[in-house]
């Protein structure tokens, strides 16, 4: 008996160890620097990590309302929420195996038997019998090795991972809403520029046609003016088409029918950006990003699966039985004189499985190794996203400043060129080209302001910053 207990104790030490023995620490020291390289070189490193919710930094209450609406109406997010609930129920299902199971049974039978060759009174050669049984059947697998506890821990870990995936999806949706929102504002600005361009070219065409009819302008000047006007009208139609598509995409994100009539009640201007603050170390990005948390929780769950597969090689112990009643008469089942009970134990030890159980151990280890590499790849991608966004902060700022100068200079040049054409000292080619450059510079300036906002949103998402308070 002592030898048996010693063997069980040693087996429990070997296979019942903590799941952390199957999961290495999240060590990315070899690939993660102490500081962001872009932040260090540009001198915008900030040790005071800004905890402000980034949607509120744009100071647009209607955008905040849109994000809140999407969080309660977007069908993809709602489907993800249901999967989180299902995963939570899976924890209860897995944990139920730790406790005894009980079920009530009630059965009855009637049988006839022939007894040929026996001399019974009255010449009877058969008889019938009835039997009724009722009882409570109990069964319980003893968790001697901790395998069932590991099942529950694995399910609970995956449930936590699903919660983090939901948070990642919700954060991503907030980013999509914000980009769609500001994309539409930029599109409306582009429409305004396209209308102004069309109106200017229309005035040009009318002026040049009048001069052509009076013999003061050539047919070439008239054709160029007409071609430029038609091209501007085509660009306006394209801008309108793109604008409608963008509105419908926003409506889809909000969970509404894509009618293309979304009313956003906005000011029509892209917001100005304040200087951004960043975490002092890349490790903080890993700690905040929900998708990386979910990736590592999957590594931990697979570590528990390794322990489960190893413990499947060990014997299993179970107890079955329970109280009941048995009688030939149904009405006697409740009579205490017919009460019975039974209890039995069983030990089951796998002997031959054609290598299935050990292959499952190797499979679990391979899956965990793959999950670790996936986590490493996701972490590297997260670092790249932050570095790209940080480098874009200054580059977009510089580009915007230069385009502001270019826009002012182009508008002045276009005005002077038109005046010179009217005086007959400059050709129509130079004048139309100067006007085109002015409108293009204004359009590019608007686009880069939008891209700068998009880059800031990408930075917020890459750092895993919360969009709005949890209560919202």
What's the confidence (pLDDT) of residue 7? 47
What's the confidence (pLDDT) of residue 218? 87
Please state, in angstroms and as integers, the Cα–Cα distance from residue 227 to each residue in 39, 136, 219, following that order.
49, 91, 12
- pLDDT tens-place values along the chain, 472 residues long: 445 444 444 445 454 444 444 555 555 656 677 888 875 444 455 544 455 689 988 989 999 999 999 999 999 999 999 999 999 999 999 999 889 888 888 888 888 776 665 565 665 666 677 888 888 888 888 988 999 999 999 999 999 999 999 999 999 999 999 999 999 999 999 999 999 999 988 988 898 888 888 888 889 888 988 999 999 999 999 999 999 999 999 999 999 999 888 766 555 789 888 877 666 688 877 788 999 999 999 999 999 999 999 998 999 998 898 888 887 787 777 877 878 888 888 888 888 889 898 999 999 999 999 999 999 999 999 999 999 999 998 899 999 999 999 999 999 998 998 888 888 878 877 888 888 899 999 999 999 999 999 999 999 999 888 999 875 5
Pairing of strands 316-327, 126-142: antiparallel
352: exposed, middle or buried (Cβ count in 10 Å: 0-12, 13-18, 19+):
exposed
How far is it, in rounded angstroms, from Cα 457 to Cα 460? 5
What's the confidence (pLDDT) of residue 461? 93
What's the confidence (pLDDT) of residue 84? 96
444: exposed, middle or buried (Cβ count in 10 Å: 0-12, 13-18, 19+):
middle
Distance of CA 52 to the CA centre of its chain: 22
Question: What residues form DSSP beta bridges with 339?
Answer: 325
What's the confidence (pLDDT) of residue 409? 92
What's the confidence (pLDDT) of residue 295? 93
What's the confidence (pLDDT) of residue 457? 95
Supply the Cα-derived Rg of the chain in whole angstroms.
38
C-alpha atoms less than 13 angstroms from C-alpha of 152 in its C-beta half-sphere: 11
Structure tokens at 171: 């954060």
Q: What is the pTM of this model?
A: 0.84
Are 193 and 232 spatial neighbours (Cβ–Cβ below 8 Å)?
Answer: no
410: exposed, middle or buried (Cβ count in 10 Å: 0-12, 13-18, 19+):
buried
């Amino acid at each position: 008996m002592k030898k048996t207990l010693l063997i069980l104790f040693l087996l429990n030490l070997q296979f019942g160890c903590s799941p952390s023995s199957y999961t290495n620490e999240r060590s990315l020291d070899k690939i993660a620097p102490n500081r962001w390289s872009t932040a260090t070189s540009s001198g915008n490193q900030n040790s005071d990590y800004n905890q402000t919710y980034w949607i509120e930094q744009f100071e647009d209450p209607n955008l905040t309302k849109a994000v809140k609406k999407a969080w309660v109406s977007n069908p993809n997010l709602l489907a993800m929420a249901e999967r989180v609930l299902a995963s939570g129920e899976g924890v209860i299902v897995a944990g139920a195996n730790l406790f005894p199971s009980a079920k009530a049974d009630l059965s009855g039978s009637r049988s006839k038997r022939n007894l040929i060759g026996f001399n019974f009174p009255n010449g009877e050669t058969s008889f019938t019998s009835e039997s009724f049984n009722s009882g409570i059947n109990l069964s319980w697998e003893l968790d001697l090795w901790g395998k069932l506890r590991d099942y529950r821990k694995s399910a609970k870990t995956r449930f936590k991972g699903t919660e983090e995936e939901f948070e990642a999806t919700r954060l991503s949706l907030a980013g999509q809403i914000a980009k769609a929102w500001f994309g539409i504002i930029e599109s409306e600005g582009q429409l305004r520029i396209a209308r102004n361009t069309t109106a200017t070219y229309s005035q040009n065409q009318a002026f040049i046609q009048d001069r052509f009819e009076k013999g003061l302008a050539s047919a070439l000047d008239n054709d160029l003016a007409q071609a430029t006007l038609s091209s501007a009208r085509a660009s306006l139609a394209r801008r309108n088409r793109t604008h409608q598509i963008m509105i419908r995409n926003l409506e889809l994100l909000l969970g509404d029918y894509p009618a293309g009539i979304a009313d956003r009640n906005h000011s029509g201007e892209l917001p100005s950006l304040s200087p951004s603050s960043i975490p002092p170390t890349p490790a903080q990005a890993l700690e905040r990003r929900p998708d990386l948390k979910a990736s590592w929780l999957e590594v931990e769950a697979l570590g528990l699966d390794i322990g489960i597969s190893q413990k499947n090689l060990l014997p299993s112990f179970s107890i079955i039985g329970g109280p009941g009643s048995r009688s030939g008469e149904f009405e006697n089942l409740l009579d205490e004189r017919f009460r019975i009970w039974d209890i039995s134990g069983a030990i089951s030890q796998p002997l031959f499985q054609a290598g299935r159980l050990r292959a499952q151990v190797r499979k679990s280890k391979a899956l965990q190794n793959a999950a670790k590499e996936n986590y490493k790849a996701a972490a590297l991608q997260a670092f790249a996203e932050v570095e790209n966004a940080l480098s874009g902060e200054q580059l977009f700022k510089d580009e915007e400043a230069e385009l502001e100068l270019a826009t002012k200079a182009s508008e002045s040049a276009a005005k002077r060129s038109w005046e010179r054409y009217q005086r007959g000292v400059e050709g129509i080619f130079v004048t139309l080209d100067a006007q085109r450059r002015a409108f293009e510079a204004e359009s590019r300036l608007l686009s880069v302001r939008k891209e700068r906002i998009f880059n800031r949103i990408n930075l917020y998402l890459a750092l895993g910053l919360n969009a709005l308070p949890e209560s919202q």
